[in-house]
Structure 1
Amino acid sequence: MSKNRIIMTLLAFILISTLVFPTVSSAETTGGNSTIIEDTDTTEDLYTDEEPEYDPEYAALLEYVDALELIAKFEDKAVTSYTKNNRYVTASNRKQTYAAFNNTIIPNYTKFVVGLKRIKPTTPKLKQIHDTYIKGASLQLQAFTLFKKSLGSATINYKTFDQANVKLAAGYKLVDKYINDFQAYIDLFE
């Protein structure tokens, strides 16, 4: 038993010593008769102090996305409340839906549209795409205002409600166009 322990300890010592102590290369043990091939490839060219330059259009895209992220929370609140409260508007849930438009949907979507208008893309193509987004979001805000107006009286004004749906559909078309155009623009950089 002790013989096995001694052998295992010696084996462990040998393994550890080969990791800790450097080994002697075969070129050094042959007395210098072997040829040593040196690596002529240097890494100095790989590492420079210069930072990589971005394409100006790509930098503009990153700035644009950062600006959108700052206002996205307003759109999220408005859309979440809209989908929750505007499923089927009836006389029994009219007041609750009106309150959602008045207190959550319109104030948050207004902040979102104002934020969109403050974003000024620096490239012509991105500006063109962004203008489509502003038009679509503005139409949707107008639709939300019409929905609120249609629910403001004791009975639902279905004529105004239908006008709101038409504006909402037109706004949705433009926002969908924006999404497709923006995705195609992003794909240019991949």
Structure 2
Amino acid sequence: MPYRKVIFYPTGYYHIYNRGNRKNNIFFDKGDYVYFLTKIKQYKTMYCIKIIAYCLMPNHFHLLIQQVGDASVSEFMRHCVRDYAIFVNNKYGLEGRLFQGPFKARTVQTDEYLLHLSRYIHLNPLDIGIALKELAAYPWSSYPEYIGMRNGILPEFNFVVDLVVDYKQYVLEGSEYRIKDGLKELTID
């Protein structure tokens, strides 16, 4: 088993992410997204995990979580991705690895980084051509819950939105930087 550099501590916050093997899709239809979210909901209680923010994209996912008790983030993720991979392989007659490898994790050590990370996660749909004005309608993200457009049962985010005066405006301002950075990369010197 590969060595994991991040050590998971009770009350710690973590950015968890993974993508499809060879960058292939891991979600193929609405039912796949729903199944994965169902597994997250099922195992978050069992492993004392709080979901702070999430975004599921066709070929990858992001979770911002807090480990509440002594139960392991690793066990939580192992069960979620294992169950989901079995589901997808059975549903579509696939074999082999669905995910590129073990999930990646980064420790979130400050409120500022936590806030920035929630924005980064919620802006992910821009990468697949979702217009900024339609961001709140993207169904596989916790962003609609954050801005009061949808009642949610997964994310526990009140303390995050309390860190800024207007979370929606905070996210929109972040998209401007993201667009500028993207244009900068396309500019020939």
Higher helix share: 1
Higher strand share: 2
For CA contacts below 8 A with separation 6 or more, give which structure has more relative contact order: 2
Q: Same fold, TM exceeding 0.5?
A: no
TM-score by length of 2: 0.24
Larger Rg: 1
TM-score by length of 1: 0.24
